[in-house]
Structure 1
Amino acid sequence: MSDTAILINTAVAIVAIVVLIVRFKLNPLIALVVGGCYLGLAAGLGAGGTVDAITTGFGDIMAEIGLLIAFGVLMGAILRDLRAIERLVERLLRVVGPKRIPTAMGLTISTFLQSIYLDVLLVISAPLARGIAPRLGKYGTARMATALAIGLECGIVFTIPGVGALALAGLLNVPLGTYLLYGLIVVIPTVIIATTLMTFVLTRGWWKPELDEQSDAVPSDAPEGDIAAERPDEPGPAGNTDRSGTPGALASGDTTTLTPRRVRTEPLLVVLFAPLVVALLLVGLGAIAEVAEWGNPVVQFLSNPVIALLIGLVGTCLIGRRYMGQPKVEESLGSGLRQSGQILLLSGVGGSLAAVIEAVGLGDILGKYLSASTWAPLVVVWAIAALLHVAVGSVTISAITAAGLLAPVAPSLGLDPVLIALAAGAGSLFLVHLTSNTFWLLQSLLGQTTRGTLKTCSVGVSVASVIAMGPILVLSLVL
């Protein structure tokens, strides 16, 4: 089949996927498989070749990242039920102060909390951000909403073990340690610069509280009590019961016996997050050992991402068992398994589409047109992912599809695959809008109008999308 025919059929497949999702509301999982089937059959792979490519692509990506996604989501589910996020935000507020809390919160969410499923992380962190907003003055809601949107979306695609980051690394065969290191190089300046720039614009008259905030916003005096009630040095629910679940002295009103009856207290934050930190450090150590050509078998085993995240999960389970009890840990794990199911399937069918695209030879064709320089393909990847996100409204789907389209080009250009993965992630952030679940959650949970959410979320994350290409293009000069 001619190159032109393959390009046309690929374009038809991508457009069909978008139409099926947006116009006919077909589940993205089904739409991606249907698009892959069309492309394989139309490009001449035949029935057997098409099915083989789809199933092999699904299996390959699951072998690469399936356990990692599951381990990360399960870890996040336990941390959620341990109130780790609420306590961390309150600690940040104490340490950095109200003026710096938006940037600090955005950085923390984008770099440190990506093991927690996005919607869960948003539902937990948004009320905390809304409670802090009145302390920041007239533009508090705008600043917190922008920082939260940028931190959430950037973390998905740039930070391991974010779902988008894992999928991109798996599709492009990028070692997770490598992706972790370069992803941090991109995400940290991106969040800081984008949040600072948006704060400047919003506080110079662009944000209109009377138009951009809902009239039933939380009163300015309410959050003080809410946040005080969540202070980490206060006893949590577990501190008011004994190990058998019998109400303690606080329930009976006998305050003189409160201290002896408090057999459990909330753990220190460093204890809560220690397993996750250890896991990420092990993955990073593996990347450093690979660069240094240090072939220690113990380091190779422990730094393998599957083993590292397994260690983190086991450690988090033990902490959860100590402070919540085994039944609650099992409940948290069950919730995490339900959350991870759709993520795993979506990542898998993204791998199926990428495998079909590779099988029809699209990589060789695109390589002929993108070999003029090292930065041009990265801009093309960004643009494709951005267009797909505008059409589909899903960061993960657009990043996976764009990476699958351009992944076969990397070998012919001698371009490091991590750059393609990061560029696809950056493009997939462009213009989070009304088709995104994140958009509406940010609107309702932070008390914004649709107009206001378009400013903080749509424009804010789009600014981050563009800014992220700066460090990515700089990396392309040295990799």
Structure 2
Amino acid sequence: MVALHTAVAIVLAIGLIIRFKVNPVISLILASLYLGLASGVGFAGTIEAITVGFGEIMTEVGLLIGFGVLIGALLHSTGAFQRMVRVLVRAVGATRLPYAMATLLSTILPSIYVDVQVVLASPVARSASPHVGRNGLPLMASALGAGIFAGYVFVIPGLAAISIAGLLDIPLGRWLLYGIVIGPLTAVLTSLVMRLVLRGGFWKPESDEEVDDALVEQEAHAAAGAEEPSANRPLPLWLMLLPILVPLVMIGFGAFADLLGFATPLVEFVGDANVALFVGLLGAYLLSRRTAGRQRTDDALDDGFHTTGEILLITGVGGSLGAVITRTDLDQVLAGLFQADAGAPVLLSVLLAWFIAALLHLAIGSVSVAAITAAGIIAPVLTSLDVAPIVIGLAIASGAMFALQVNSNFFWMFKALLGLSTKGSLKTLTLGTSIASAVSLPMVLVVSLFA
């Protein structure tokens, strides 16, 4: 019954938002209340889960969202993103932009938190979308989602990849050997499939795009700033992008220091994502004052604060639904399912590992939690399976990406930052991650032939 109530809660939230146009915050709270009361969490437990879940998400990503959105707003005011897009178009061509972004996100940036990646990459995706063509925005959005999560689950040092490898006792070098191939290949193939899906009338801008007024103003200021002659000599593009590059280097250094065992309190401080993005924010502020002037800088900050408030509230409520789900006994139900099939053939074991991770992700709304929980469920019976641990681990990674949707705080960040409606986000992020999960599964089965 727990699985049924969880499914009903997710369908309820999606139905209220899409069919009845109910505000996402209200819809997610109603879904959380239904799930908690129907699954036996209780009145007090449900309220506690909603409030604690909101607070935990804000603790994890609140400052990241705020600093990241402000960095994007300030860099928009300098015209840095527009210049970057022009360079990319000249380098790879407009039609290859989605594949370039998917490859970049899935190979170079997995050490960065997914929330930081979407905050920093979404302005680039939006700025590049007009160059890609009629369906530029959904193509770039799909590539962004597929690239981020393919890297997150398959490529070291992505958090989900490291977690699965650790729980199943798989050497990181062995994981990297397979993951560095499967990750970017999954991201690029997903982008190719999405281009085919979007060829017809699947994408409807009037209902699938929902740009926040502040986001429109922010981009208008950026466009006007790019066209206005500046009294100061234009700064080199690499210098204008330092507010993004420096935080990425800081966070990546901290991740590798922890991975290789030479982390110290100072290194941990420097590599902390909140500290890194604050350094980026300071740099973006100084650059904006230097290139755009005080007034346009203040306008950009005002727009950024407006956008941040909406994102934080929806993100926090998305965390509330996830917290209610974790109070149920869904993980125990799935553990019994896998233990009943110990000793099954390789194909069945791989499919079952994929299915459990996918179902957990649908229920919990967190790729990392789904991956970790699935690995924890399967680890005790791993020795009784006639299949290599690396294959089971990759199957879990593949399944954990499946159908990222409304019970994920990332979904709401993605929606707001890319200027999409809930329906548009389902068509890009949810469908894209579903395709990525399905595309990567045959690759895992190929690995099972010789691993």
Fold conserved between structures, TM > 0.5: yes
Which amino acid letter does the alignment assign opposite residue 115 of structure 1? V
- In structure 1, the residue matched to 2:235 is 267
**TM-score, normalising length: structure 2:** 0.65
How far apart are residue 268 of structure 1 and its match? 1.4
Asked if 1:115 is matched to 2:119, the reply is yes
- In structure 2, the residue matched to 1:126 is 129
* Structure 1: segments with no counterpart, 5+ residues: 131-140, 161-165, 215-234, 243-263, 389-397, 430-435, 443-449
What are the equivalent positions in structure 2 for 1:36-185 lying under 5 Å apart? Answer: 36-97=32-93, 100=96, 103-104=99-100, 107=103, 114-116=118-120, 118=122, 123-130=126-133, 147-155=139-147, 157=149
**TM-score, normalising length: structure 1:** 0.62
How far apart are residue 403 of structure 1 and its match? 6.9
How far apart are residue 56 of structure 1 and its match? 0.9
The C-alpha deviation readout for 1:133-158, integer Å capped at 9, x for no partner, is xxxxxxxx68x678535323325656
1:146–1:456 Cα contact (<8 Å) kept: yes
Q: What is the alpha-carbon distance in structure 2 between the residues aligned to residue 45 and residue 149 of structure 1?
A: 37
- In structure 2, the residue matched to 1:325 is 293
The C-alpha deviation readout for 1:222-266, integer Å capped at 9, x for no partner, is xxxxxxxxxxxxx9445x354xxxxxxxxxxxxxxxxxxxxx133
Q: What is the alpha-carbon distance in structure 1 between the residues aligned to residue 442 and residue 53 of structure 2?
A: 32
Q: What is the alpha-carbon distance in structure 2 between the residues aligned to residue 346 and residue 472 of structure 1?
A: 35
Distance 1:468 1:88, change over 3 A: farther
Asked if 1:27 is matched to 2:23, the reply is yes
2:103–2:187 Cα contact (<8 Å) kept: yes
How far apart are residue 207 of structure 1 and its match? 6.4
Distance 1:339 1:316, change over 3 A: same
How far apart are residue 190 of structure 1 and its match? 2.9
Distance 1:150 1:10, change over 3 A: closer
- In structure 1, the residue matched to 2:365 is 400
| 1:303 maps to which of 263, 271, 274 | 271
Percent of residue pairs bearing the same amino acid type? 33
2:364–2:370 Cα contact (<8 Å) kept: no
Distance 1:127 1:64, change over 3 A: same
- In structure 2, the residue matched to 1:188 is 184
How far apart are residue 328 of structure 1 and its match? 1.8
- In structure 2, the residue matched to 1:411 is 376
What are the equivalent positions in structure 2 for 1:153-302 lying under 5 Å apart? Answer: 153-155=145-147, 157=149, 188-195=184-191, 236-238=226-228, 240-242=229-231, 264-302=232-270
The C-alpha deviation readout for 1:11-66, integer Å capped at 9, x for no partner, is 33333323322332222222222122122222333221211111111111111111
Q: What is the alpha-carbon distance in structure 1 between the residues aligned to residue 440 and residue 258 of structure 2?
A: 26
How far apart are residue 342 of structure 1 and its match? 2.8
What are the equivalent positions in structure 2 for 1:330-345 lying under 5 Å apart? Answer: 330-345=298-313
Q: What is the alpha-carbon distance in structure 1 between the residues aligned to residue 404 and residue 194 of structure 2?
A: 19
Which amino acid letter does the alignment assign opposite residue 144 of structure 2? L
RMSD: 4.9
Q: What is the alpha-carbon distance in structure 2 between the residues aligned to residue 402 and residue 96 of structure 1?
A: 31
Which amino acid letter does the alignment assign opposite residue 359 of structure 1? R
Which amino acid letter does the alignment assign opposite residue 363 of structure 1? D
The C-alpha deviation readout for 1:288-346, integer Å capped at 9, x for no partner, is 11121213222111001111111122112221121112322222122122222232222
The C-alpha deviation readout for 1:433-479, integer Å capped at 9, x for no partner, is xxx989x989xxxxxxx9xxx999998876445335567889999xx
Q: What is the alpha-carbon distance in structure 1 between the residues aligned to residue 394 and residue 303 of structure 2?
A: 32
Distance 1:12 1:283, change over 3 A: same
- Where 1:267 maps in the other structure, the secondary structure is coil
Which amino acid letter does the alignment assign opposite residue 24 of structure 2? P
The C-alpha deviation readout for 1:377-425, integer Å capped at 9, x for no partner, is 434443676xx7xxxxxxxxx9837777776555333499999687444
Aligned length: 373
1:351–1:404 Cα contact (<8 Å) kept: no
Q: What is the alpha-carbon distance in structure 1 between the residues aligned to residue 366 and residue 193 of structure 2?
A: 30
2:150–2:183 Cα contact (<8 Å) kept: yes
Distance 1:345 1:426, change over 3 A: same
| 1:428 maps to which of 404, 409, 412 | 404
Q: What is the alpha-carbon distance in structure 2 between the residues aligned to residue 22 and residue 212 of structure 1?
A: 16
The C-alpha deviation readout for 1:355-396, integer Å capped at 9, x for no partner, is 2222222222222224555763434443676xx7xxxxxxxx
| 2:352 maps to which of 352, 376, 391 | 376
Which amino acid letter does the alignment assign opposite residue 302 of structure 1? V
